[in-house]
Amino acid sequence: MSGFQGGLDLTQDVISYVALGDSFTEGLNDPAPEDSGASRGRFRGWADRLAEHLAERVPEVRYANLAVRGKLIRQIVGDQLPRAIELHPDLVTICAGGNDILRPGGDPDQVAAIFEAAVARLAATGATVVVFTGFDTGFQPVMRHLRGKIATYNMHLRAIADQYGCPVVDLWSMRVLQDRRAWSADRLHLSSEGHRRLTLRVCEVLGVPAEGDWRQPWPDEQPLHWRAARQEDLHWAREYLVPWIGRRLTGRSSGDGLAPKRPNLERLR
């Protein structure tokens, strides 16, 4: 099988969708609307939003989100993959390996080998398996040095997607996300608007009609004065960078002790 042909079949009466991954797929930092019925403090994110778009086109959508923040690819494959296969969904999205690449010594070749084995198992179920590349971090001063490793990993991901006939959401080419307004205060996770635009891109890849254009230019914005920008950088380093480094050094994860927000295929209301 080579290359993804066509879109998702929206003529079905029921579509089941399972999302696998880490904080990116869990939906940090996109708070769920208060009137959505979600538990307090839960995040929404692009995967929830995708399920909502599907529900506008298909009579019944059953959705599970197994993603947990901070998880490494071996944890995703060990904990989430068996459950996804057990649920036997029509659609699977998998974005994994980013946390491995961010860590010192993270080898994109080794991570890609694990990712390929996971995609092979998912594709064997007959599901449509959506693969995501990594972001281009060239615009982020702290993450810029990882650009080469991410590019290498992305080449592996594209080859894997081609081999197993997977649609690809190319985050690297989404220049619209290289605006600071696409990112939350921690500079590691998308903002609500970033998640909204990404959802539109995923819908485009899958052939799901959705209103809006993810490429729409951002409104003009006055650049920050250098003093204000410096203060923002210092605040970010104190509130987000230092704790993140501390977790890496101590082997802790932001997802320790957390369960998936939607562990079962449930009808989207």
**Angle, alpha carbons 54-56-58 (nearest 5°):** 65
| Domain annotation covers residue 7 | no
Which residues of the chain register pLDDT less than 70?
1-7, 35-41, 224-253, 255
Structurally, the chain folds into a number of domains equal to 1
Residue 138 forms part of a structural domain: yes
pLDDT of residue 248: 62
Cα–Cα dist 202/221, whole Å: 27
Number of neighbouring beta carbons within 10 Å of residue 102: 18
CATH number, domain at 42? Answer: 3.40.50.1110
Closest by alpha carbon to 202, among 130, 94, 115, 122?
130
Determine how many CB atoms are found less than 10 A away from the CB of residue 141: 10
- DSSP alpha helices (H): ranges in 76-225? 81-87, 98-102, 108-123, 147-164, 192-206
**Residue 202 domain boundaries:** 14-267
Q: Which pLDDT value is given to residue 188?
A: 86
The burial of 82, by beta-carbon neighbours within 10 Å (0-12 exposed, 13-18 middle, 19 or more buried), is given as exposed
Closest CA to 27 of 59, 50, 4: 50
Q: Determine, yes or no, domain membership for 19.
A: yes
Residue 227 has a pLDDT of 67
Give a yes or no: residue 211 inside a domain. Answer: yes
What pLDDT was estimated at residue 228? Answer: 59
In a domain, 8, yes or no: no
pLDDT at 2 (0 to 100): 40
pLDDT of residue 232: 65
Q: Is residue 9 part of a domain?
A: no
